[in-house]
A and B are shown apart, each in its own frame.
With several copies, the nearest count.
Chain A
């Protein structure tokens, strides 16, 4: 597939002896929103974290299979720092650093060697603008980021990711800690961002997956049970298990 940004082949993942992912293969299309759904412990978050190797942090974890990012194997020679720069991540709970709003956004560019203040200014403004929070914070860039509301913090975190110019953005239940209003805003933002980025989002909220994603992958017990167009998954899934899950029934 030419449009494939990430291409996962026969991925197995182990936490110690526990096999958390079984033989997962998946193509993630460019400039699309792909939602990963499934019950708790199904491996969706684990899978997400294999994509920018955040799982390397877990002791005793092991990966088999290949993940190609733009055709290169990220578990091969691909440099992990470069990978994480290209494949950004937004977390469940907003996690701004205990610094000013400006420094939060500038943190990424700075650690990647950009020191010129003007360039940083530009990056900060652009990122905040893209994350649809510029208007709310432009007058208090030097205030602590922790003073923002939860929803604002999450958009700030998205802006922080945008500042290092990623290609793919992974989101791990980015709205589960937010109220409905903030959730709506983030969802709108995701809709906006997919013009420029490839987005993969884990969500336990089926409605959310339905609303914002183009493709949906359903994980169960570490297996990729079904993947397809979101419309198909929600309207006419081929697997009984998928249907049971999305319709809130089991067994």
Chain B
């Protein structure tokens, strides 16, 4: 305005223009700055959210992946590589192993097979964590040091039939008779018998270094002659001396297959040998010598072997895991009884806590007059909600287990849990009931309904979805709880018999598996089940969309 008024005085005009310009510039700078800050802030916020998302995806992804797919780095004396069919070490002919289809077995090494045939162990558990009796079958033509329980048959077909029908049975038959087992429902299991023989010099300790293991890629490179010094694969500074097995021998064929080369491509640096005895001697004698060899032969000749490291992947959690009882602290078997215990625990907890919780919520929202009592109850509920679960555990331990003499068991545990999740149910129910518009109550009362009638017929039905959501969330919490159960519910992994029996549930099971280092695969599987339950709880609770009034 003033600019317009002052147009007749050019001097003022200029100075005002300058002033306006400088103001304009200042505003422009400020404006640009705030725009930049805006962009920066947006990026930061996006990143934070992305990080949160990433954390969850990683945790869930990692555990579920591992839960369904075991993927472990293992070390063994035996080479586990490709499809090599090996002869049984104590037999000259190629043989194969056939196994009853209920036995969960994918491969076996020579040692294990031998001990199975000897009848020690007599249970599959040690081999594949499956609680089954071992029933070995062999042909009468077979040679070997068999155990008492080993059953001898005189033809391949009868072995196949027996293996097919008897749970836990397996048999050894000549590879040449492989076509005879066609049509039987059984599994053929590859047997590993090869190891990596080295000269003792390879395993010496120098500069704090020692050759400890070798993996498939290293082995391949060595066999192809691509590596010339042990240093290159983590060993001491020592040239590799590759010893090539006698041409045409079993080891020779395995060599070619393991290296993935033809006879013509055998490395020039390799030292050829003529017969098995020479082969063994060369490996032992030469500095940095290495050669693949049957473990039994190596043992027989006091030859040092390198550990073979390989990655074992496979299915982890499978249907049977859910339906089999755990054995031997969960090392063996599934989690069926643990799931059942968990269900008992949840049902009992819901049974105890829901009526009390809803009742308390109804009292607080509908009956209580604003005053000291309500304040105390509310404070009590909030305090209860904030108490760490370990203190609940202690309390349950003294009161339910000790004082009330209920013992460590289902009842003590669920009572403890009941107290723990009570605030959750009270609070969500209270919210759900509060969310029912006051006008509903007024409407009902104005029609001449009584208070309880109003609550029972109008308020609670209207609040039901919200209350149910609360109960489900509480269930989620109960299922995952561990600390409170440590001293109250115990660790017995059998199915509970009565209310006083100690009972292991999924969470405590997982804790035991990890703490005792029993089996990480089992732990992952158990964790996956827990996570699936948590996911289900979440889906359920969000599906029950709370009604908007």
A–B direct contact (CB < 8 Å): yes
> In this assembly, does B370 line the interface, its C-beta being within 8 Å of a C-beta of chain A?
yes
User: Smallest distance from the beta carbon of A71 to chain B beta carbons, Å?
Assistant: 19
Given known contacts A59-B369, A113-B27, A146-B549, A95 and B439 CB-to-CB distance under 8 angstroms = yes
Interface residues of A in 56-81 (CB under 8 A from B): 57, 59, 81
Instruction: Provide the bound-state CA to CA distance between A13 and B423, in Å.
Output: 39
> In this assembly, does B34 line the interface, its C-beta being within 8 Å of a C-beta of chain A?
yes
> In this assembly, does B31 line the interface, its C-beta being within 8 Å of a C-beta of chain A?
yes
User: Smallest distance from the beta carbon of B409 to chain A beta carbons, Å?
Assistant: 42
User: For residue B34, which residues in chain A have a CB less than 8 angstroms away from its CB?
Assistant: 111, 113
- Closest residue of B by beta carbon distance from A113: B30
> In this assembly, does B234 line the interface, its C-beta being within 8 Å of a C-beta of chain A?
no
User: For residue B184, which residues in chain A have a CB less than 8 angstroms away from its CB?
Assistant: none
Q: Is the CB of B437 within 8 A of A93?
A: yes
- Closest residue of B by beta carbon distance from A91: B439
Count residues of B near A (Cβ-Cβ below 8 Å).
Answer: 28
Interface residues of B in 427-468 (CB under 8 A from A): 436-437, 439-440, 442-450, 453, 457-458, 461-462
When the two chains form the complex, which single residue of A54, A83, A89, A111 contacts B449, counting CB atoms closer than 8 Å? A111
Instruction: Provide the bound-state CA to CA distance between A93 and B443, in Å.
Output: 10
Q: Is the CB of B442 within 8 A of A89?
A: yes
Q: Is the CB of B437 within 8 A of A81?
A: no
Instruction: Provide the bound-state CA to CA distance between A99 and B464, in Å.
Output: 12
Given known contacts A57-B445, A85-B447, A98-B549, A111 and B457 CB-to-CB distance under 8 angstroms = yes
> In this assembly, does A200 line the interface, its C-beta being within 8 Å of a C-beta of chain B?
no
User: Smallest distance from the beta carbon of B27 to chain A beta carbons, Å?
Assistant: 6
- Encoded as 1 (CB less than 8 Å from any B CB) or 0, chain A from 107 to 136 comes to 110011100000000000000000000000
User: For residue B440, which residues in chain A have a CB less than 8 angstroms away from its CB?
Assistant: 95, 97-98
User: For residue A92, which residues in chain B have a CB less than 8 angstroms away from its CB?
Assistant: 439
When the two chains form the complex, which single residue of B27, B436, B445, B458 contacts A84, counting CB atoms closer than 8 Å? B445
User: Smallest distance from the beta carbon of B11 to chain A beta carbons, Å?
Assistant: 25
> In this assembly, does B311 line the interface, its C-beta being within 8 Å of a C-beta of chain A?
no
> In this assembly, does A3 line the interface, its C-beta being within 8 Å of a C-beta of chain B?
no
Instruction: Provide the bound-state CA to CA distance between A95 and B441, in Å.
Output: 9
Q: Is the CB of B31 within 8 A of A113?
A: yes
> In this assembly, does B547 line the interface, its C-beta being within 8 Å of a C-beta of chain A?
yes
- Closest residue of A by beta carbon distance from B371: A59
Instruction: Provide the bound-state CA to CA distance between A29 and B494, in Å.
Output: 78
Q: Is the CB of A89 within 8 A of B448?
A: no
Q: Is the CB of A54 within 8 A of B445?
A: yes
> In this assembly, does B26 line the interface, its C-beta being within 8 Å of a C-beta of chain A?
yes
Given known contacts A98-B461, A98-B549, A113-B30, A108 and B439 CB-to-CB distance under 8 angstroms = no
Instruction: Provide the bound-state CA to CA distance between A161 and B443, in Å.
Output: 9
Instruction: Provide the bound-state CA to CA distance between A146 and B439, in Å.
Output: 13
User: Smallest distance from the beta carbon of A168 to chain B beta carbons, Å?
Assistant: 12
User: Smallest distance from the beta carbon of B168 to chain A beta carbons, Å?
Assistant: 59
User: For residue A95, which residues in chain B have a CB less than 8 angstroms away from its CB?
Assistant: 437, 439-440, 442-443
User: For residue A108, which residues in chain B have a CB less than 8 angstroms away from its CB?
Assistant: 447-449
- Closest residue of A by beta carbon distance from B449: A111
Instruction: Provide the bound-state CA to CA distance between A146 and B449, in Å.
Output: 21
Instruction: Provide the bound-state CA to CA distance between A95 and B462, in Å.
Output: 12
- Closest residue of B by beta carbon distance from A108: B447
> In this assembly, does A232 line the interface, its C-beta being within 8 Å of a C-beta of chain B?
no
- Give 10 A-B contacts (CB < 8 Å), ordered by A residue: A82-B448, A89-B442, A92-B439, A95-B439, A95-B440, A97-B444, A107-B458, A113-B26, A146-B547, A160-B447
Q: A97-B444, A113-B27 are in contact. List 10 more A-B contacts (CB 8 A).
A: A59-B370, A83-B448, A84-B446, A88-B447, A89-B443, A91-B443, A91-B446, A107-B457, A112-B30, A146-B547
Mark B residues whose CB is within 8 Å of A.
Answer: 26-27, 29-31, 34, 369-370, 436-437, 439-440, 442-450, 453, 457-458, 461-462, 547, 549
Mark A residues whose CB is within 8 Å of B.
Answer: 52, 54, 57, 59, 81-85, 88-89, 91-93, 95-99, 107-108, 111-113, 146, 157, 160-161, 164
